[in-house]
A = this chain, B = another copy of it.
Amino acid sequence: MATKRQGTKLKKEPMCRTEIPGIIQFDLEEVGGVNGLNKRLPSKKNIEKISAIHHALSDPVRIHILYLLAIQPLCVCVIKECIGIAGSKLSYHLNIMKESGLVDSEQQGNWIIYRITEKGKKYAEETA
């Protein structure tokens, strides 16, 4: 009766674990069980960083921009012409890419020139 549901979620309840397939069981013990697994993982913060950069690359418009800037630095109006989207939309995507460090920008008079960063290059080279 101690194990009856009590409204709140139980944190460390004996889950399945009456038995698990042999192949897994063996390796799992070697590695130190669930705790052993968890110790070998990147930190939560790191996991979030990694997923964040992938998120920045998860939109076709942004990949398009990335490959454009891998060719040469460009001002917004040229990117806009290449891709054929509204300025405000482009600005939105450029901002995401800038925040995640894939590109940076520099003002030149009336124009703003975007260039790919080293980090951005790394991802542009990955699949091309």
A3 at the interface (CB under 8 A from B): no
How many chain A residues sit at the interface, stated as a range, is: 35 or more
Q: A2 within 8 Å of B by Cβ?
A: no
Copies assembled: 2
A16 touches B77 (CB 8 A): yes
Residues 49-79 of A, flagged 1 when their CB comes within 8 A of B and 0 if not, give 0111011011110111001100111110110
A-B contact pairs, 26 of them (CB 8 A): A15-B80, A15-B81, A16-B80, A17-B81, A20-B78, A21-B111, A24-B72, A24-B75, A24-B113, A27-B73, A28-B74, A28-B78, A31-B72, A34-B82, A37-B72, A37-B74, A38-B82, A41-B68, A47-B60, A48-B60, A51-B58, A51-B63, A54-B58, A54-B63, A55-B55, A57-B58
- Nearest 4 A-B pairs (CB), nearest first? A16-B77, A55-B58, A54-B57, A54-B58
